């Protein structure tokens, strides 16, 4: 196993574990306000200090990571649920009008920068975590449709698929039974990358007020709150930021490591 893979898996596991533990335990209750104990610097009873309302930063990061991970995961799920079938259908009808329609539809969605899509959705339906998820979910659909189609196209020319067709299996049957398992590696790698992107997107949208709304803590919201206080309480901004970097770095390294591990040809060429 490569060092990249180990480091990536370790970092990702650490943050996912912190997020999961926050479901049952945090060092302090993240909803308890303690105004006299506000803006404590790191060290002491509060490991990473307290915010302007006296809430424990470490506990908030644990819960915030949970929110961010949940938002990114659900959006990833939307992308997978719609993107994979679309990609499989496009590859099945490669060159036909259905393929053309799906791919041009993808192009249109790609023309909307993610942030612009989120702005459009929240401008109309109001800011919320759900709308941030929908925006990023929609953005994920063409990503997975493309990856699935790209991986599936060469497979349709292979002998074992031909054999399955000769055996009388329908194209839909072949797509699910033979094509999908063979593009799974590509999807796992892309999924890790989109997961990491989702963490960044959640943070960015919540930072500008279009994502997770108070009082739910999220890493992006913590940074938004910290913005006006960065001059006298920099730790409010530094730690949530480092948490985002940690999760994203971990997932990106994991994706890179998985890509190399799952595709020996690529590994040789990159070496």
Partner 1 sequence: MLRYMLKRLVSLVLSLAVASLIIFAVIEIAPGDPASFMLGINAQPETLAALRAELGLDVSKAQRYVAWVGGMLTGDFGTSYTYRTPVAGMVADRIGVSIPLALYALVLSVVIAFPAGLYAAARRGRAGDLGVMGATQLGVAVPNFWFAMMLVLTFAINLRWFSAGGFPGWDDGVFAALKSLTLPAIALALPQAAILTRVMRSALLDVLGEDFMRTARAKGLSERQTLWRHGLRNALIPVLTIIGLQFSFLFAGTIIIEQVFYLPGLGRLIFQSISARDLIVVESVVMLVVFGVIVINFLVDLAYAVVDPRLRARA
Residues that bind partner 1 (CB under 8 A): 104, 107-108, 111-116, 119-125, 196, 200, 203-204, 207-209, 223, 226-227, 230-231, 234, 237-238, 241, 244-245, 248-249, 252-253, 271
Determine the Cα–Cα distance for residues 228 and 126; give it in Å rounded to an integer.
Answer: 24
Strand partners, 50: 56
The answer to whether 43 and 97 have CB atoms below 8 angstroms apart is: no
Residue 99 structure tokens: 């393929």
The answer to whether 80 and 187 have CB atoms below 8 angstroms apart is: yes
Q: Which is nearer to partner 1, 86 or 88 (CB)?
A: 86
Alpha helices in 53-128 (DSSP H): 57-92, 97-111, 114-125
Name the minimum Å distance from CB 70 to partner 1: 18
Name the minimum Å distance from CB 122 to partner 1: 7
Name the minimum Å distance from CB 173 to partner 1: 33
The answer to whether 263 and 10 have CB atoms below 8 angstroms apart is: no
Q: Which is nearer to partner 1, 122 or 192 (CB)?
A: 122
Determine the Cα–Cα distance for residues 10 and 156; give it in Å rounded to an integer.
Answer: 37
Name the minimum Å distance from CB 208 to partner 1: 5
| Residue-wise DSSP of 131-194 | HHHHHHHHHHHHHHHHHHHHHHHHHTTSHHHHHHHHTT--HHHHIIIIIHHHHHHHHHHHHHHH
Q: Which is nearer to partner 1, 63 or 223 (CB)?
A: 223
Name the minimum Å distance from CB 203 to partner 1: 5
Q: Which is nearer to partner 1, 152 or 253 (CB)?
A: 253
Name the minimum Å distance from CB 255 to partner 1: 11
Q: Which is nearer to partner 1, 133 or 226 (CB)?
A: 226
From 64, 223, 212, select the one nearest 135 (Cα to Cα).
Answer: 212
Name the minimum Å distance from CB 214 to partner 1: 16
Q: Which is nearer to partner 1, 61 or 226 (CB)?
A: 226
Q: Which residues of 222-232 are buried (b: 16+ CB within 10 A; e: fewer)?
A: bbbbbeeeeee
Residue 151 structure tokens: 């991986």
Q: Which is nearer to partner 1, 88 or 226 (CB)?
A: 226
């Amino acid at each position: 196993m490569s060092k990249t893979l180990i480091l990536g898996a370790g970092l990702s596991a650490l943050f996912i574990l912190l997020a999961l533990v926050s479901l049952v335990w945090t060092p302090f209750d993240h909803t308890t306000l303690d105004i006299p104990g506000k803006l404590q610097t790191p060290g002491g009873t509060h490991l990473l200090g307290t915010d302007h309302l006296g809430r424990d930063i470490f506990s908030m990061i644990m819960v915030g990571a949970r929110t961010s991970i949940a938002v990114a995961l659900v959006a990833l799920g939307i992308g997978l649920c719609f993107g994979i079938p679309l990609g499989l259908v496009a590859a099945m009808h490669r060159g036909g009008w259905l393929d053309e329609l799906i791919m041009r539809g993808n192009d249109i969605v790609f023309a909307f920068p993610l942030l612009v899509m989120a702005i459009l959705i929240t401008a109309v339906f109001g800011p919320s975590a759900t709308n941030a998820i929908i925006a990023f979910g929609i953005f994920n659909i063409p990503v997975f449709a493309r990856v699935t189609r790209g991986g599936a196209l060469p497979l349709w020319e292979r002998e074992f698929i031909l054999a399955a067709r000769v055996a009388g299996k329908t194209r839909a049957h072949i797509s699910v039974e033979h094509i999908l398992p063979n593009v799974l590696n590509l999807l796992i790698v892309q999924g890790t990358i989109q997961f990491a992107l989702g963490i960044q997107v959640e943070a960015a949208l919540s930072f500008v007020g279009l994502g997770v709304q108070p009082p739910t803590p999220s890493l992006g919201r913590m940074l938004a709150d910290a913005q006006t206080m960065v001059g006298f309480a920099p730790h409010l901004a530094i730690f949530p930021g480092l948490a985002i970097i940690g999760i994203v770095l971990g997932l990106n390294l994991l994706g890179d490591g998985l890509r190399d591990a799952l595709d020996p040809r690529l590994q040789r060429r990159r070496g």
